[in-house]
């Protein structure tokens, strides 16, 4: 009764309501028009995690994640020709011109130097390419090759590949000037393309390049969006046989999108191209609620043959289930606020607002829109009621609710649970394979990274910082022995390609300063010996040029482990091994704190750890939130359990799907997976509410359940199938992540729908829960006889 | 009652589902034991000592001592109880052997290498080379012109500094030339031996180390590098290239190698030494390089030399350089050794057929006189 009056109030004050909604929509529209695509890797990281704090403290010197690596590989011969060396020199110079580059961070064989011993005890610290001059004669080229080979690990194997066919140029970009599009464009235009010709392959990779490619592909989104909208329109038209059926959900989706986008911009945020599927998903939710309402309006109009009464009847009957469905979604998403990741917290606020906007675009505006639209023709409604889709549902629903059908449904559910449990074990935290899951395996980026990895072994950095609490710690020989022992220990792990630390330079320096005699290539065991070698290493060099090994303040040094990939298990294992190593009292150095961890692997480890820590909590809290909303809606403790069952099944299925399809839970997938956790609860609410309605109108439990399945259930099945069909277009995307997330959400919606349409009604018919009977009594008490001029049987 | 039972069943099912999910999702990553390889790319091997055609000891950084008994197919690590670098090893006979290394490390085995005991060398200086003509008599050489000798199998040592004593008036100027590092020793018997080191020093003894004579003087005349503006003519014989290794096949014939790829040879027990020439490949004519002339490109330093089997010779150096002695007396690049761009610290042949080369991350073995080499995997 209350909601009926509320509907009447909306219609009576429709001008004011329209004006308020119009003004607000214009307000949000103004901001929505300024929407920008923005992505920031840093915002995906848990800023309070100790690893991230260490990374931020030292990222100016050690293990910056904003590294770009460019590899030039000759097709024939070696790099030791004037033309190729000329290219390397030129690319090194050009790299320094790219916007946002951290000057001094550009390194290649052209910037390297070595110690040259001469007879008589003279040692010259000689640049490999004196003055950047390009060797021209065969002798000069041979000398260059010899100089490179004399410095294994420092030049040879690091800037020049061990087969002499490739060289790399590296550079770091300033966090404060990360303009991925511009960096990507300038690296291609200034550094790569001028040197590309028939004699070489040029590959480039690194975090800024990865995001550069993502932006490069974003124009595709427009076509995917247009194709999706057209497909949804076509399906809506086929379902309702009426243009109003397509228009009404579109209005709902567009208005809530304007509110959502406007709100994002209003808060100063941008839209991340990697989670564009989330706006799609929310809009799809708006469309779903709208289809439900529209379907009910047609049903009521057919029953009452009066537009205004049909509007009010459908509004009053669906207000509670729609509202509780929307609130369950919104609060479920808001729970993400608990994850201490800036991006997720922003997403929690903006996505929950966007979802909540459906209350306005769908529930509040609904009676007014129908008020101004012409009523549907009766033959159109009848055609919809007797289509093949409804006949299909009838043929499935009837036997399913019989005893044998219920047993079969239970059995099928158990099989599905077992399959989910089996495939769920394959789910990995972090990236499940060596290539970036953001792009397709054969994308230029992944092919580039594979080529660089194959020539140089490993490039993904995990940096342990040795923080020096005492001034004399730097001269403590034990520090370097522990560093060396750590490197040798980590190199035994199959995921680790190589390691690097100042300990390597120290022992190499001992040899280089003693005419390259290998027997001097050992770590000193005395403070004096250590100080001498360190002095030799640092003397004459500017503090900034040695900052990659020791900070200019001389208060920290580092050990870098180069991982072959970013696979979640490998990342976790590297961290665990490192923690265990430094927990061992034998590896404690007085005055030194070994802090984990900078570098891309350290930051991913932090993110993965946060995911592991929060994933279960998030799921429990999201389910608890939805449970409380259902508890309030149906005033029953058991109701939540019944309605959460299909949702739990959908969540299990989605995790199993990810496990089976090698999609890991990582900083990119977590937002999508977490936002979707409560989606689909409205399917169950609509069906249960319709069962209660049927009972209130005098039907029995099985009959009412059957009716609910072929009325509300029909709209549920249709919206789920529409969503599945529409997200197929995402598979055209060059961004693999968006394609997979689209597919994932389609599976999610489909399984939710299946659960709500099969096991939920079977559970209700089998167990005849008390809350259904109680809600029926309440519905009977609040019935309006004037809205019941026709019987429900007309629709069965 | 029946309804309660149903509700109970439902709750139980939900809990099972959640428990399954939790168990499946939150797995600890496995930490399998790390593979322990005896030979890795980051190993630095400094010396090898074969005791039979297929049995050899290999020593290196971080206290690493390996033993193979099957021609390098398998290696066993021997724990010597230290992480110090081991620079050289020699087995004087089947049971008795010695090794030396970083920070005055000297160790002895009396059981064929199974166990090693540390000896009191009374020094913390690096000891780079050793030579034992028999189980009791031996010499160690090292940093700051150090020579340690023992006549009782390491029970006690006599320590001395083998360096030129400059007159008082030159002492201030002579500082850079004092206490040169001695890298290698070669003793044929308890009396006759040679020691080489920094700045081209060659010392010889004919009385078991009681007295020593400098032998590099003939080389100074051959060395044509002009003195630089900062060079002092009074120390002209100290601009010779450092020598890292010495090997004598008998009391007359010996060779040493060192910086800038130079090999020096003697056919008269060291009375006269001569710079040897190199050739690009076996059979090619020797180069005409004048000793001391600037070389472009600079040649790699040579770290070890071994004269063996009557007339054979081999030397190894930085960036995988391996030279073989040719019938014409020149040293030619050996194309049969795999291209390894890393320092090769030591080469030793047991006999004419069986030999070893060790270096950074590398152990090579031949059983056909060096025609083919096999990379040992450990």
What does DSSP say about strands B302-308 and B374-375: parallel, antiparallel, or unpaired?
unpaired
Rounded (10°) CA dihedral B131, B136, B140, B145: -120
Res. A204: pLDDT tops 90: yes
Helices (H) and strands (E) in chain B, counts: 2, 29
Q: Does A763 touch chain B (CB under 8 A)?
A: yes
Judged by CB atoms closer than 8 Å, whether chains meet at B42 and A491 is answered as yes
| DSSP string covering B113-170 | TS--EE---S--S-EEEEE-SSSS-EEEEETTTEEEEESSTTSS-EEEE--PPPPGGG
The band of A794, judged by pLDDT with boundaries at 50, 70 and 90, is: very low
Q: B43: which strand partners?
A: none
State chain A's mean pLDDT as an integer.
85
pLDDT at A131: 62
Res. A549: pLDDT tops 90: no
The band of A122, judged by pLDDT with boundaries at 50, 70 and 90, is: low
Which among B26, B176, B199 has CB closest to A616? Answer: B26
Q: How many CB atoms lie within 10 A of CB A110?
A: 22
Dist. CA A514–CA A123, nearest whole Å: 8
pLDDT at A791: 41
Q: Does A517 touch chain B (CB under 8 A)?
A: yes
pLDDT at A119: 55
At A450-509, the pLDDT tens digits run 898 888 877 788 999 999 988 788 999 999 999 999 999 999 998 998 898 999 888 888
- DSSP annotation of A132: G
Dist. CA A620–CA A602, nearest whole Å: 28
| Cα–Cα distances in angstroms (integers) from residue A652 to residues A299, A740, A745, in the given order | 35, 17, 13
List chain A residues with CB under 8 Å of B10.
638, 641-642, 645, 763, 767
Torsion angles phi and psi, residue B258, rounded to 5:
-175, -145
User: Furthest-apart CA pair in chain A: how many Å?
Assistant: 114
Nearest to A755 by CA among A417, A419, A425: A417
Q: A429: which strand partners?
A: A665
Residue A499, Cβ density class (10 Å: 0-12 exposed, 13-18 middle, ≥19 buried): buried
Q: Does B139 touch chain A (CB under 8 A)?
A: no
At A668-716, the pLDDT tens digits run 777 777 777 777 788 888 899 889 888 888 888 999 999 999 988 988 8
Which among A152, A576, A767 has CB closest to B341? Answer: A152
At B312-362, the pLDDT tens digits run 999 999 888 999 999 989 999 998 988 887 899 999 999 999 999 999 999
Given the cut 0.90, state whether the ipTM is greater than it. Answer: yes
Quick one: closest CA in A to B225, which residue? A119
Q: Does B293 touch chain A (CB under 8 A)?
A: no
The band of A792, judged by pLDDT with boundaries at 50, 70 and 90, is: very low
What does DSSP say about strands B278-279 and B331-333: parallel, antiparallel, or unpaired?
parallel
At B152-184, the pLDDT tens digits run 999 999 999 998 888 888 888 888 889 999 999
Res. A740: pLDDT tops 70: yes
Q: B154: which strand partners?
A: none
At A153-183, the pLDDT tens digits run 778 888 999 889 999 999 988 878 888 899 9
Which among A143, A417, A518 has CB closest to B298? Answer: A143
Residue ranges and CATH numbers for the domains of chain A are 2-42+218-434+606-795 (1.20.1640.10), 67-216 (no CATH), 470-590 (no CATH)
Q: What percent of the residues of chain B are helix, what percent strand, and what percent coil, each to the nearest 5?
A: 15, 35, 50
Nearest to A429 by CA among A611, A656, A616: A611
Which residues neighbour A122 within 8 Å (Cβ) at sequence distance 6 or greater?
A: none
Rg for chain A (alpha carbons), in Å?
32
Quick one: closest CA in B to A665, which residue? B25
Residue of B108 and A387 predicted with greater confidence: B108
pLDDT at B1: 46
> Between A770-781 and A681-696, two packed helices, what is the crossing angle to 10 degrees?
60
B 195-214 residues inside an 8 A Cβ radius of A: 198-200
Mean per-residue pLDDT, B247-272: 95
pLDDT exceeding 90 applies to what percent of chain A? Answer: 30
Nearest to A41 by CA among A52, A50, A32: A52
Res. B23: pLDDT tops 50: no
Give the residue from A114, A429, A507, A517 with the most B CB atoms within 10 Å of its CB, the best one to mutate: A517
Q: Contact at 8 Å (CB) between A734 and A440?
A: yes
Map out the domains of chain B as residue ranges. Answer: 39-375
Alpha-helical (H) ranges within chain B are 2-25, 217-222
List chain A residues with CB under 8 Å of B19.
none
pLDDT at A121: 53
Mean pLDDT check: name the lowest of A262-271, A306-315, A338-347. A338-347
List chain A residues with CB under 8 Å of B296.
139-140, 143
Judged by CB atoms closer than 8 Å, whether chains meet at B6 and A767 is answered as yes
Alpha-helical (H) ranges within A697-735 are 701-710, 712-727
Torsion sign across C-alpha atoms A321, A322, A327, A333: positive
The band of A795, judged by pLDDT with boundaries at 50, 70 and 90, is: very low
At B52-94, the pLDDT tens digits run 999 999 999 999 999 999 999 999 999 999 999 999 999 999 9
Which among A118, A572, A580 has CB closest to B29? Answer: A572
Which among A519, A648, A769 has CB closest to B46? Answer: A519
Q: Name the 3-class secondary structure at B66.
A: strand
Which residues neighbour B187 within 8 Å (Cβ) at sequence distance 6 or greater?
A: B131, B132, B133, B137, B138, B139, B193, B194
| Angle, alpha carbons B24-B30-B34 (nearest 5°) | 165
3-state secondary structure A647-668: HHHHHHHHHHHHHHCCCCECCC
Rounded (10°) CA dihedral B146, B151, B157, B163: -20
Size of interface A-B (CB pairs under 8 A): 165
Distance from CA of A513 to the nearest CA of B (A): 13
Q: What is B39-375's CATH number, 2.130.10.10, 3.30.70.100, 3.40.1160.10, 3.40.50.11740? A: 2.130.10.10
Res. A784: pLDDT tops 80: no
User: E-strand spans in A31-135?
Assistant: 67-74, 113-118, 122-127
Q: Does B256 touch chain A (CB under 8 A)?
A: no
A558's enclosing H/E stretch is: strand A556-563
pLDDT at A612: 77
pLDDT exceeding 70 applies to what percent of chain A? Answer: 95
Mean per-residue pLDDT, A237-258: 84
User: E-strand spans in A102-246?
Assistant: 113-118, 122-127, 166-172, 200-205
Q: Does A120 touch chain B (CB under 8 A)?
A: yes
Which among A421, A427, A577 has CB closest to B31? Answer: A577
């Amino acid at each position: 009764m209350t909601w009926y009056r509320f509907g009447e109030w909306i219609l009576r004050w429709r001008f004011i309501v329209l004006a308020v909604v119009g003004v607000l929509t214009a307000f949000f529209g103004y901001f929505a028009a300024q929407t920008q695509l923005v992505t920031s890797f840093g915002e995906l990281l848990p800023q309070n995690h100790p690893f991230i704090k260490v990374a931020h403290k030292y990222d100016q010197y050690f293990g910056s994640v904003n590294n770009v690596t460019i590899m030039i590989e000759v097709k024939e011969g070696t790099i030791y020709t004037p033309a190729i060396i000329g290219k390397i020199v030129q690319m090194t110079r050009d790299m320094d011109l790219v916007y946002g580059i951290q000057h001094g961070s550009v390194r290649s064989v052209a910037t390297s130097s070595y110690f040259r011993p001469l007879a008589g005890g003279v040692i010259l610290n000689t640049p490999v390419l004196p003055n950047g001059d390009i060797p021209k004669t065969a002798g000069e080229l041979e000398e260059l090759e010899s100089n490179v080979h004399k410095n294994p690990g420092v030049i040879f194997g690091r800037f020049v590949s061990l087969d002499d066919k490739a060289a790399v140029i590296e550079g770091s970009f300033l966090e404060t000037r990360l303009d991925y599009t511009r960096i990507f464009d300038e690296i291609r235009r200034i550094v790569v393309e001028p040197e590309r010709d028939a004699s070489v392959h040029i590959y480039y990779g690194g975090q800024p390049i990865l995001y550069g490619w993502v932006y490069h592909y974003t124009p595709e989104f427009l076509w995917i969006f247009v194709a999706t909208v057209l497909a949804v329109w076509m399906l809506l038209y086929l379902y309702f046989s009426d243009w109003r059926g397509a228009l009404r959900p579109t209005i709902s989706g567009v208005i809530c999108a304007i509110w959502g986008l406007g709100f994002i911009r209003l808060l100063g945020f941008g839209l991340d191209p990697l989670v564009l599927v989330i706006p799609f998903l929310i809009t799809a939710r708006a469309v779903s609620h709208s289809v439900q309402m529209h379907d009910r309006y047609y049903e009521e109009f057919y029953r009452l043959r009066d537009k205004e009464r049909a509007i009010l009847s459908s509004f009053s009957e669906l207000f509670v289930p729609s509202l509780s469905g929307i609130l369950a979604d919104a609060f479920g998403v808001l729970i993400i606020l608990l994850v201490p990741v800036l991006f997720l917290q922003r997403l929690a606020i903006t996505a929950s607002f966007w979802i909540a906007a459906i209350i306005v675009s769908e529930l509040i505006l609904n009676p007014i829109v129908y008020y101004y639209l012409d009523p549907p023709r009766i033959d159109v409604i009848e055609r919809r009621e007797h289509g093949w889709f409804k006949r299909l549902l009838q043929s499935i629903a009837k036997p399913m609710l019989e005893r044998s059908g219920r047993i079969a449904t239970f059995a099928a559910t158990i099989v599905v649970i077992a399959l989910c449990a089996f495939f769920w074990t394959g789910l990995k935290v972090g990236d499940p394979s060596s290539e970036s899951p953001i792009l397709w395996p054969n994308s230029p980026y992944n092919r580039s990274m594979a080529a660089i990895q194959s020539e140089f072994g490993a490039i993904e950095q995990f940096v342990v910082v040795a923080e020096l609490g005492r001034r004399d710690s730097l001269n403590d020989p034990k520090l370097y022995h522990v560093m060396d022992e750590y490197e040798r220990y980590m190199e035994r792990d199959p995921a680790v390609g190589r390691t690097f630390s100042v300990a390597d330079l120290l022992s190499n320096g001992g040899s280089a300063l003693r005419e390259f005699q290998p027997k001097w290539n050992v770590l000193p065991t005395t403070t004096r010996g250590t100080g001498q070698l360190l002095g030799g290493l640092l003397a004459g060099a500017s503090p900034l040029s040695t900052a990659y090994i020791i900070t200019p303040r001389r208060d920290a040094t580092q050990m870098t482990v180069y991982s072959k990939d970013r696979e979640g298990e490998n990342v976790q294992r590297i961290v665990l091994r490192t923690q265990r190593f430094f927990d061992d009292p034998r590896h404690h150095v007085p005055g030194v704190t070994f802090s984990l961890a900078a570098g891309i692997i350290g930051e991913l480890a932090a993110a993965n750890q946060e995911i592991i820590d929060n994933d279960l909590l998030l799921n429990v809290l999201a389910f608890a939130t939805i449970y409380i909303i259902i508890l309030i809606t149906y005033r029953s403790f058991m109701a939540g359990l019944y309605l959460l069952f299909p949702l739990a099944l959908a969540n299990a299925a989605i995790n199993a799907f990810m496990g089976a399809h090698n999609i890991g839970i990582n900083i990119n997938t977590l937002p999508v997976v977490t936002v979707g956790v409560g989606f689909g609860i409205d399917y169950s609410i609509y069906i249960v509410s319709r069962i209660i309605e049927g009972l209130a109108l005098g039907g029995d439990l099985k009959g009412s359940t059957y009716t609910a399945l072929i009325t509300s259930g029909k709209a549920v099945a249709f919206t789920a199938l529409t969503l599945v069909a529409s997200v197929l277009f995402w598979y055209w995307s060059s961004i693999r992540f968006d394609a997979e997330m689209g597919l994932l959400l389609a599976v999610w919606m489909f399984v939710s729908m299946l659960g709500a349409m099969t096991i939920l009604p079977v559970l209700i018919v089998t167990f005849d829960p008390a809350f259904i009977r109680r809600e029926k009594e309440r519905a009977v008490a609040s019935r309006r006889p004037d809205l019941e001029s026709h019987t429900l049987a007309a629709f069965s | 009652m029946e309804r309660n039972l149903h509700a109970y069943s439902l709750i139980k099912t939900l809990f099972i589902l959640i428990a399954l999910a939790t168990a499946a999702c939150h797995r600890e990553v496995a930490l399998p034991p790390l593979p322990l390889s005896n030979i890795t790319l980051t190993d630095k091997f400094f010396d090898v000592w074969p005791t039979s055609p297929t049995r050899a000891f290999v020593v290196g950084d971080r206290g690493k001592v390996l033993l193979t008994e099957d021609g390098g197919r398998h290696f066993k690590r021997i724990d010597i109880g230290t992480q110090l670098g081991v620079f050289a090893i020699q087995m004087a006979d089947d049971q008795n052997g010695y090794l030396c290394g970083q920070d005055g490390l000297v160790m002895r085995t009396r059981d064929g290498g199974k166990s090693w005991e540390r000896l009191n060398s009374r020094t913390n200086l690096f000891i780079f080379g050793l030579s034992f003509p028999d189980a009791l008599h031996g010499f160690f050489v090292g940093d700051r012109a150090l020579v340690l000798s023992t006549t009782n199998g390491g029970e006690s040592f006599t320590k001395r500094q083998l360096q030129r004593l400059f007159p008082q008036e030159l002492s201030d100027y002579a500082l850079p030339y004092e206490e040169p590092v001695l890298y290698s020793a070669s003793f044929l018997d308890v009396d006759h031996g040679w020691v080489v080191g920094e700045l081209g020093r060659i010392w010889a003894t004919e009385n078991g180390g009681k007295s020593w004579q400098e032998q590099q003087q003939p080389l100074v005349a051959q060395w044509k590098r002009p003195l630089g503006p900062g060079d002092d003519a009074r120390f002209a014989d100290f601009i010779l290239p450092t020598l890292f290794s010495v090997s004598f096949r008998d009391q007359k014939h010996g060779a040493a190698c060192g910086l800038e790829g130079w090999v020096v040879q003697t056919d008269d027990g060291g009375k006269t030494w001569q710079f040897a020439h190199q050739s690009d490949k076996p059979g090619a004519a020797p180069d005409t390089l004048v000793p001391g002339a600037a070389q472009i490109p600079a040649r790699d330093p040579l770290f070890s030399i071994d004269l063996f089997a009557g007339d054979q010779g081999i030397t190894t150096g930085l960036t995988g350089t391996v030279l073989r002695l040719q019938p014409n007396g020149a040293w030619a690049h050996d194309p049969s050794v795999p291209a390894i761009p890393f320092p090769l610290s030591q080469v030793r042949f047991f006999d004419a057929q069986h030999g070893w080369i060790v270096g950074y991350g590398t152990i090579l073995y031949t059983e056909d006189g060096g025609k083919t080499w096999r990379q040992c995997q450990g």
